[in-house]
Structure 1
Amino acid sequence: MKENKLRSTDWFGKSGKDGFIYRAWMKNQGYPGDEFEGRPVIGICNTFSELTPCNGHFRELAESVKRGVWEAGGFPLEFPVMSLGETLMKPTAMLFRNLASMDVEESIRANPIDGVVLLCGCDKTTPSLVMGAASVDIPTIVVSGGPMLTGRYRGKTIGTSDIWRFSEMYRNGEMSQEELTTSEACMCRSDGHCAVMGTASTMACMVESLGLTLPENAAIPAADSRRKRIAHMSGRRIVDMVKEDLRLSQILTREAFENAIMLNAAIGGSTNFVIHLLAIAGRIGVDLSLDDFNQLCEKIPLLLNLQPSGGYFMEDFYYAGGLPVVMKEMIGLLHPNVITANGKTMAENSATAECFDPNVIGTLEEPVKNLTGLAVVRGNLCINGAVIKPSASLKPELMQHRGPAVVFEDIDDYKARLDDPDLDVDENSILVLKNVGPKGYPGMPEVGNMSLPKKLLAKGVIDMVRISDGRMSGTGFGTVVLHVSPEAAVGGVLALVQDGDIIELDVANRRIHLEVSDEELEQRRGSWKPLELGYNRGYVNLHIKHVMQAHEGADLDFLKGGSGDQVLRDSH
């Protein structure tokens, strides 16, 4: 096999002053010159941070990757990038996804890196790293951090989705603060990200579905020794990928994106999958739209019995056979011959997969639910679309519903009035939350799965239709319409909705309609005023000026497309 010229040669292979500077300062770490001259230099892009608990074990995971790189004849160099901790960052980690992607892109492109291993786990670290790497387009492999072990509380299994249940129980007086505090440590009892099919697990499944990882990457628990093994093997593999010049653009084809969309529907993945996949497609140059999601997901039932759409956890998914089992079951619907990071096709990677627990992984003939994991609805309320996760509904009859709107103008209005005893709301009402979109919050937080009014919880109401231009945690559930586009902050029709307006949701026909005449809407628009957001400097100001709408992936407009792997200029 003819080996390609290494990118790092433009640094370490130079003679004279330029080569002297690059090599000399590497040698101050104790490396002999032959370690980095002529060998593939492998960057390990590490999102470790003590402020990102999901990724808190990544120092150790990086060491496993390094061992694999050394064994294969490469030279590993670990580097940090901005880490996005979903559980701690305010107002939302999503506000900084695009900023982190810029950090990744420029760090890779500006340094002597021939191939890169992306270490990611928490919700936004995976898409931001893939987006950044896609813009540079060098050989890349992803290693996810893995889910935490299943929680145990009072003899029952629990996971992140139970936060929402416990919260409603606490608000309804069925659970004390002491009990709530005790359950915290019971739920988060090991390294790793959320143990359910939340956004972090969805992102791990997404990168495996796209072919960016070794098989079985998605579901191995963080605490399982096999997580270190796959990191080790990924370190070996990236060296060969460099020698083969197997780049992201060869893996991230249109067919790979279609596979990921269909598999996400089958596993009941997070609605956040949509916004992140659209952004990745925009970076690599694949034309993808919301219509593609509808067409590809429409007839795919739910095959995975995991919270929040089912009852089990990621740990159970791995023991049942993991994502390769779902791939094998769906291979007749997928593009089987797409190439993946290990050089094999998806069909080859899943050929020997075996289901060890049919209670966890269903079949196309006997699915967990006939409801799909994702649907896109359109109408005058959202001319550019909105998304809903039918499989996560607690009352399937709400998939076709007509009711009066109860409107909250922003998150502060919602918090102030939700539990007001005088709030004019009943179980047939539709809760509408405005101004929580990409510009409006800013950053599009996960507040779309609004809590139910306290007085309805007391009556035993468990689900209502909820509509917003925000997002929902992948761990959340309910009949929730999200990502309404255009958002309220830019003057979308959502901004014009008033209390009492009748809204019809018809998921079967992919339709949502505000029963207000065009003439009335135009009259209301005359008195509408945009929000005063009040951010006049820094990254947040940049975000507000340049962020695209949800149906475009909420990327910054000037980041669409790629930069390539050429350095800007030699400074010496």
Structure 2
Amino acid sequence: MRSDQAKRGPARAPHRALLKAAGYTDWEIERPWIGLVNSYNALIPGHVHLNRLAAAAKAGIYAAGGLPLEFPVIGVCDGIAMNHLGMKFSLPSRELIADSIEIMAQGHALDGLLLLTNCDKIIPGMAMAAARLNIPSLVVSGGPMMAGRFEGRDIDLSSAFEAVGRHAAGRCSDEELREIEEACCPGCGSCAGMFTANTMNCMMEALGLALPGNGTIPAVDAARDRLAKDAGVAVMELVRAGIRPRDILTPQAFHNAVAADLALGGSTNSALHLPALAHAAGVDLPLDRFDELGRSVPHLCSMSPGGPYHIQDLHRAGGIPALMARLLAGGLARGECLTVTGRSVAENVASRKVRDDEVIRPLDRPYHAQGGLAVLKGNLAPLGSVVKQSAVAEEMLCHTGPARVFDGEEAATEAILAGRIRDGDVVVIRYEGPKGGPGMREMLTPTAALAGQGKDRTVALLTDGRFSGATRGAAVGHVSPEAASGGPIALVQEGDSITVDIPGRRLDLGISPEEWQAREAKRIPKEQAVESPFLNRYRRFVRSGVEGAVLDETPREDVCRKTPFGGKE
């Protein structure tokens, strides 16, 4: 065992003494050491109940002969961080989470990891640590929040953001806004739609890093406690069998995850986190792979924000095992992949059936013939950009309109809420990429405000930043190269014609070659100014959004000095 280097022999008497000071007996110290990484905090609704599940997971580890050694990691609530300085710290927190777990596991010679997680950056950050360390590891989530109810229909957090847009347009009263605020998030768990947190929890299951049910069992269900106990037992089986994350995280496993993501219509953030996890596992997962698979994997689940169903409905319909069984039957998934159960994907889902053909539609009757995500390229996005095409109204799949240009999210949000965006416009928000922001903020507030005003059917939005999984409409993110790295999005001027062609996979700026060259010659590189040593350090190391916004081991210096703007936030 790895832990032997910290506990065996006469030379390790001081080490054992320190463990005994923590209350551990000789016979406990002899057990395999399992790091229980608990991302509990009192801020995130998806995490406030994790101590309950940690107790269940520790019971499982202990019963199966291991010694659970619990330690924490940080977590940012994207909803609370939205539309202010705090969102700049959200994506960078993924790297801190992975680094801190690596430090704890290596510093204490742990034999295995049980990763108790739930929300947006925390899930991939933990999985990235497991892939880097490559010691037996298993992910278990806190589970999804139940949907709220308002006026006879299910609602969720996106309903509140969109209500803000309706309120600004005079279409929602103060009283209705207050009632939605009270009803949309009824209790603990990751927000109820197929937003980023639930997308990534489902991805952990599709990859094979989590037990069946991980993505969909509700947070308040006792089955979630049982799953945590079973996870504790399962991680001990992984330790004994010597099954490691990189045995599971193969190219075929990432094929399964991308296929499941496309069928679910998951968050565009999966196009950041899955490539980042693949990078940590030594697997190449280019952005184009999402588009290649998306042309053959249909969109089978119409989930909020693009559709009427929530995670509780997906669970009732059979969850990710039922979806995987359907994909396997159609030859769209790889059944031979190993999982943390010690069995293959095919073995795990052999007896699973879809229990509601509207929540998980048959392959011959999909919601859309193509998968949920599309990758657009063109003269505005030479390296690529991402859109959740399953959440775009049909009339907006092809759209040409005048550019409304904003250097930063705040200015765009102010214009939208003030009613200054007209039908037909293309809102451009730039200098919000991984380097330029820095931190690649999510743009849920402006996209939800447009949706609340009914303009998700008349206005497109594109950014070198990214979107919440709760975004819907013709919202194109991850435009790369970003403005701060010399991307063409920096050349766009107010009133320019921009074409978004999702079926044609194009994103283009309609100016002449001569005008393009003239603007390029006058371009002055710039980025948003922030008074944060951490963020300024992050921007020196981070790669582009289409590369998963992973960090370089050594910084790449810019050719010329950028001019900061924005000052103190």
Q: Give the TM-score of the pair, scaled to structure 1.
A: 0.92
Counterpart of 1:252 in structure 2 is 249
* Offset of residue 371 of structure 1: 4.5
Structure 2 residue 555 is matched with structure 1 residue 557? no
Residue by residue, what CA displacement relative to the aligned partner does 1:481-522 show, whole Å, maximum 9, x if unpaired? 110001111220000001221122222221221122333222
442-451 vs 485-494, which moves further = 442-451
Give 1:500-519 correspondences, 5 Å limit: 500-519=495-514
* Offset of residue 559 of structure 1: 8.7
Amino acid corresponding to residue 77 of structure 1 in structure 2: L
Distance 1:202 1:323 in 2: 11
* Offset of residue 155 of structure 1: 2.7
Give 1:184-223 correspondences, 5 Å limit: 184-223=181-220
Q: Give the SS at the match of 2:68.
A: strand
Counterpart of 1:146 in structure 2 is 143
Q: Give the SS at the match of 1:476.
A: coil
Q: 1:518 to 1:137 in 2, by over 3 A?
A: farther
Distance 1:559 1:553 in 2: 17
From 542, 547, 559, give the equivalent of 2:542.
547
Q: Which runs of 5+ in 1 are unaligned?
A: 1-5, 561-572
Counterpart of 1:431 in structure 2 is 427
Give 1:134-283 correspondences, 5 Å limit: 134-283=131-280
Amino acid corresponding to residue 401 of structure 1 in structure 2: H
Distance 1:352 1:95 in 2: 40
Counterpart of 1:567 in structure 2 is none
Q: 1:511 to 1:489 in 2, by over 3 A?
A: same
- Residue 448 of structure 1 contacts residue 469 of structure 1 at CA under 8 Å; is this kept in 2? no
Give 1:410-559 correspondences, 5 Å limit: 410-419=408-417, 423=420, 426-447=422-443, 450-451=446-447, 462-531=457-526, 533-535=528-530, 538-558=533-553
Structure 2 residue 314 is matched with structure 1 residue 321? no
* Offset of residue 544 of structure 1: 1.1
* Offset of residue 98 of structure 1: 1.4
- Residue 164 of structure 2 contacts residue 452 of structure 2 at CA under 8 Å; is this kept in 1? no
Amino acid corresponding to residue 61 of structure 1 in structure 2: L
Residue by residue, what CA displacement relative to the aligned partner does 1:162-209 show, whole Å, maximum 9, x if unpaired? 123312221122222333223223122121011110001000011111
Residue by residue, what CA displacement relative to the aligned partner does 1:106-131 show, whole Å, maximum 9, x if unpaired? 12221131010011101111011111
Structure 2 residue 99 is matched with structure 1 residue 106? no
Q: Give the TM-score of the pair, scaled to structure 2.
A: 0.92
* Offset of residue 244 of structure 1: 1.0
From 297, 310, 313, give the equivalent of 2:294.
297
Q: 1:320 to 1:419 in 2, by over 3 A?
A: closer
- Residue 275 of structure 2 contacts residue 547 of structure 2 at CA under 8 Å; is this kept in 1? yes
From 403, 406, 416, give the equivalent of 1:408.
406
Distance 1:375 1:448 in 2: 19
* Offset of residue 305 of structure 1: 2.5
- Residue 210 of structure 1 contacts residue 257 of structure 1 at CA under 8 Å; is this kept in 2? yes
Distance 2:173 2:33 in 1: 54
From 8, 17, 25, give the equivalent of 2:18.
25
Q: Give the SS at the match of 1:88.
A: helix
* Offset of residue 30 of structure 1: 2.3
Q: Give the SS at the match of 1:418.
A: helix
Amino acid corresponding to residue 523 of structure 2 in structure 1: W
Counterpart of 2:382 in structure 1 is 383
Q: 1:461 to 1:222 in 2, by over 3 A?
A: closer
- Residue 449 of structure 1 contacts residue 472 of structure 1 at CA under 8 Å; is this kept in 2? no
Task: Give the RMSD, CA atoms, in angstroms.
Answer: 2.0
Distance 1:558 1:356 in 2: 47
Counterpart of 1:51 in structure 2 is 43
Counterpart of 2:562 in structure 1 is none
Structure 2 residue 336 is matched with structure 1 residue 337? yes
% identity of equivalent residues: 38
Q: Give the SS at the match of 2:296.
A: coil
441-450 vs 99-108, which moves further = 441-450
Residue by residue, what CA displacement relative to the aligned partner does 1:441-468 show, whole Å, maximum 9, x if unpaired? 21111116734888x9778774422111
Q: 1:354 to 1:48 in 2, by over 3 A?
A: same
Distance 1:242 1:349 in 2: 20
Q: Give the SS at the match of 2:78.
A: coil
Counterpart of 2:559 in structure 1 is none
Counterpart of 1:75 in structure 2 is 67
Q: Give the SS at the match of 1:119.
A: strand
- Residue 159 of structure 1 contacts residue 187 of structure 1 at CA under 8 Å; is this kept in 2? yes
From 33, 36, 41, give the equivalent of 2:29.
36
* Offset of residue 527 of structure 1: 2.1
Q: Give the SS at the match of 2:362.
A: coil
528-537 vs 171-180, which moves further = 528-537
Counterpart of 1:118 in structure 2 is 115
Q: 1:539 to 1:434 in 2, by over 3 A?
A: same
- Residue 447 of structure 2 contacts residue 471 of structure 2 at CA under 8 Å; is this kept in 1? no
Q: 1:418 to 1:272 in 2, by over 3 A?
A: same
